[in-house]
Amino acid sequence: MSTITPIASTRGINQELAENKVTVEIKPDEEKAHVSAIWEQVQEILNQSLINSGITKQRVETTEPEKEQTSGKILVAPGIPMGNKEYEERFGNIDLEYYRKQMPPELFKVFVRHAGSIPGKPKVDVVELTSDFEV
Amino acid sequence: MEYTDWQPTMTIQSPVYLDANVLVGTTVSNHPLYQSCVKLTAAILIAGVNVVISVLSLDEAMWAIAKLSYCQLTNNPSKTHWNKKIYEKWCDQIFENHGSWITAVYEMVKDWKNAGVDIDFAPSIDSEYGEVIAKAPDYMRQFRLTPADAFHLAIAEKRAKTFITADSDFSKLQRNLPSGDLTIIHLPKPLHHENSPAR
């Protein structure tokens, strides 16, 4: 069974234990994509460990950043990191937060995965390109 | 039928048939119609309408993106000459440099469907093929449309209430709009660069 008691002791937070409080700081793994479901499981395991160890009945609150910058990249949706330049080109003038609120998470994810995924140029004419099929 | 330019506040009636230029326009960034295409597709996805796609649109999209790859490899504009012979000559380089681009539109549509979007492919049954094939030559003659455009219009008329396209050739229909309840929504080129956040 998992427990965080030894970690709490070695970090010297006995004063907090005496006050029936535990501070837990969790930083997302910078190398991996963030998945909300996994994040929720981490939080649940920590809370269950605290309850089982009898340290506290207080729930641990951790937060998953919505638009986190990792290694200079913007996390547009879970598993979709994007460099600043690419983000500007694809979504610089688009209110993605509005779409994030309006679409179910999985739909938003595939929407941002594909919108503007091919780097074009200002002089590209998509009507001209698609019309060539006809001649 | 009705013909109108697209406005962001417009109500779009389901089912919606998407022309290849809208699908390509959403997948390729930076071009003048990109923001309009993204706003439009987002509105369609949010509205939860039935989206109709034809194999003709996917075929056109693949050909268009193969040409886009050629244009970028050779630094040519979109209107540069492009045909089967040029494609065959450049095929290896296109796939070597931009292989994943070729199926980008199909992958997008497939992922939309897997994420719950109501997508149908048309024509889907023999009787629909028959009606579309019978109607397309009429539109070719009546409106001087190319065979591909005539097929898009016939498929849209058969399966959708709304046909969305960026191709201004369909404006020819305004002279003598055929009967029926199809609305053709044209995506116009922006007069200037859009700088405000888009919804």
Mind listing the pLDDT tens digit of every residue in chain A (135 residues)? 443 433 333 344 444 444 554 444 444 444 444 445 555 555 565 556 545 655 444 444 444 444 555 668 899 999 999 999 999 999 998 999 999 999 999 999 999 999 999 999 999 999 999 987 644
Q: pLDDT (tens digit, 9 = 90+) per residue, A84-93?
A: 999 999 999 8
Reported ipTM: the value is 0.90
Distance CA A16, CA A23 (A): 8
Please check whether residue A46 lies inside any domain of the structure: yes
Say what the pLDDT of residue B190 is. Answer: 82
- Average pLDDT score over residue span B31-60: 95
Please check whether residue A133 lies inside any domain of the structure: no
Between A47-61, B12-26, B162-176, B177-191, the lowest mean confidence (pLDDT) is in A47-61
Beta-carbon separation of B38 and A125 below 8 A:
no
Domain boundary among A20, A40, A64: A64
- Average pLDDT score over residue span B82-110: 96
Please name the fold of domain B2-57+103-186: Rossmann fold (3.40.50)
Please check whether residue A1 lies inside any domain of the structure: yes
Please check whether residue A101 lies inside any domain of the structure: yes
Tell me, yes or no, if A101 comes closer than 8 A to chain B by beta carbon.
no
Q: Domain check: are A57 and A89 in the same one? A: no
CA angle B12, B16, B18 (to 5 degrees): 115
The per-residue pLDDT of chain B, averaged, comes to: 92
Beta-carbon separation of B79 and A109 below 8 A:
no
In which domain, by residue range, is A87 found?
A: 66-119
Say what the pLDDT of residue A54 is. Answer: 53
Please check whether residue A41 lies inside any domain of the structure: yes
Beta-carbon separation of A133 and B60 below 8 A:
yes
Say what the pLDDT of residue A30 is. Answer: 45
Say what the pLDDT of residue A16 is. Answer: 47
Distance CA B40, CA B159 (A): 20
Q: Domain check: are A80 and A48 in the same one? A: no
pLDDT classification of B128: cutoffs 50, 70, 90: confident
Distance CA B30, CA A47 (A): 46
Hey, where are the domains in chain B? 2-57+103-186
Residue B78 with chain A: CB contacts under 8 Å: 123-126, 128-129
Q: Which residue did the predictor score with more confidence, B86 or A63? A: B86
Say what the pLDDT of residue B99 is. Answer: 95
Say what the pLDDT of residue A40 is. Answer: 57
Please check whether residue A134 lies inside any domain of the structure: no
Q: Domain check: are A79 and A48 in the same one? A: no
CA angle B86, B92, B97 (to 5 degrees): 110
Say what the pLDDT of residue B197 is. Answer: 47
Tell me, yes or no, if A126 comes closer than 8 A to chain B by beta carbon.
yes
Q: Domain check: are A100 and A60 in the same one? A: no
Say what the pLDDT of residue A67 is. Answer: 52
- In a mutational test of the B interface, the residue from A97, A109, A126, A134 whose CB has the highest number of chain B CBs within 10 Å is A126
Residues in chain B: 199
Tell me, yes or no, if A115 comes closer than 8 A to chain B by beta carbon.
yes
Say what the pLDDT of residue B24 is. Answer: 97
Q: Which residue did the predictor score with more confidence, B120 or B193? A: B120
Tell me, yes or no, if A31 comes closer than 8 A to chain B by beta carbon.
no
Q: What are phi and psi of A42, to 5 degrees?
A: -60, -45
Min Cα distance B178 → chain A (Å) is 23
Distance CA A94, CA A91 (A): 5
Res B158 pLDDT > 80: yes
Res B196 pLDDT > 70: no
Task: Give me the percent of chain B exceeding a pLDDT of 90.
Answer: 83
Distance CA B128, CA B132 (A): 6
Beta-carbon separation of B38 and A116 below 8 A:
yes
Q: Domain check: are A59 and A104 in the same one? A: no
Element (H, E) at B70: helix B55-74
DSSP assigned state of A118: B
Q: Domain check: are A11 and A59 in the same one? A: yes
Distance CA B138, CA B173 (A): 12
Please check whether residue A129 lies inside any domain of the structure: no
Report the predicted TM-score, pTM, of the whole model to 2 decimal places: 0.76
Q: Domain check: are A60 and A91 in the same one? A: no
Domains held by chain A: number? 2
